[in-house]
Amino acid sequence: MNPATSADAPAPRPGGPPELPPQVALLQLVTAGFAAQAAHVAARLGLADQIAAGVRDTLALAAALGAHPPTLRRFLATLASIGVLRQDGEDHWALTGMGQFLRGDVAGSWRDFARWFGCEAHYAAFGALEHSVLTGESGFARTFGESSWSYMARDRATGLCFDRAMSSKAAASHALILDRYDFSGIDLLADVGGGQGELLCAILARHPAMRGVVFDLPHVVEAAGPRIAAHGLGARLEAVGGDFFAAVPPADAYILTNVLHDWDDARATAILGNCRAAMRPDGRVLIVDFVLRPVNEPDIGRLFDLEMLVLTEGGKERTEADFASVLAAAGLRLDRLVPLGGLSLIEARAA
């Protein structure tokens, strides 16, 4: 029997549309990668930026992008069907609310994140997911013969794509961090694995008496100087390159945003232990990451757990109990969780 016939159609849910028949829902799940790759291509082309700038009919967009007009029209129609665009007139296109976040010039943009998820290295590594599931080994290492970290340090085009993606991902949580966590009482805050310092720039702008240190690999923080200067924070914010497995700079408090999920428990404990050793006795460690929900609940963090499986060597998303365990091993205790939308901020202090 056809699962989509009216006799089999489920009743509407109270206050919402009817649930899809399970076969149709599974088909949508299986083909979700098509939509993800379409979003990636739109991000790569800068399509949303072109439309925002006023280039909105198919022929003009094709000329601006160097695309084949009939094929581009099919692609635009597909983006409209998944909610990124809407047709506005016979052959004109406009951005939806979702599509606005594929622009590069809006706060909270996901354009660079979409570019990373569909880039060649990431796409190829995820093709080895079966190997990772069967062996527990990194799909990236299986595909490229080296870790993702060494590959991106050597191939700077891929590394830059990753750095920009992580910056955009972090930026999406910055406003929530600033609004929902009280940083008062911190004189010197170190952002461990802090990239180019965007989060610290935002925190220091709101707390004019605070000083900061952004700490990351030397080739990452070398780009932080101009950004710090542009924010007028050269006297209060220092960029320091180093290895957080060896040591971290002294500070009153530490914040680690999307850092610990890259590492297994032993290496996560080593990073946290270095923070514990360097901070003052009444200091604190702040961790921004997914905190996994119970297994049967919908949780995007579970999908990012597969991302960690494929791209890292032992990295993973963690439950609250997992975080409490690695914190305890580093001489810290989990004090509280602050919800940040999909992410959480974990506050820890000396045990």
- Please report, for the domain that includes residue 31, its CATH number: 1.10.10.10
Looking at the 3D structure of the chain, how many domains does it have?
A: 2
**Tokens at residue 69, please?**
């007009």
Among 129, 157, 162, 161, residue whose Cα is nearest residue 143:
129
Query: Averaging pLDDT over each range in 8-12, 174-178, 321-325, which range is the top one?
Result: 321-325
Assess if residue 117 is contained within a domain. Answer: no
Assess if residue 280 is contained within a domain. Answer: yes
pLDDT, tens digit, for every residue of 212-260?
999 999 988 888 889 899 999 999 999 999 999 999 999 999 999 999 9
Domain housing 191: 169-350
Assess if residue 130 is contained within a domain. Answer: no
Same structural domain, 179 and 73:
no
Same structural domain, 55 and 175:
no
Same structural domain, 95 and 182:
no
87 and 151 Cβ atoms separated by less than 8 Å = no
Assess if residue 17 is contained within a domain. Answer: no
Predicted structure pTM score: 0.86
**Tokens at residue 313, please?**
């060597």
Assess if residue 163 is contained within a domain. Answer: no
- Active-site residue list: 261
Residue 4 has pLDDT above 50, yes or no: no
Last-in-domain residue among 75, 102, 129: 102
Please compute Rg for the chain using Cα positions: 22
Same structural domain, 335 and 203:
yes
Same structural domain, 337 and 227:
yes
Give pLDDT, residue 31. 94
CA atoms within 13 A on the CB side of 206: 15
Last-in-domain residue among 102, 119, 145: 102
pLDDT, tens digit, for every residue of 308-342?
999 999 999 999 999 999 999 999 999 999 999 88
Assess if residue 12 is contained within a domain. Answer: no
User: CA torsion, points 194, 198, 200, 202, in degrees to nearest 10?
Assistant: -160
Same structural domain, 86 and 173:
no
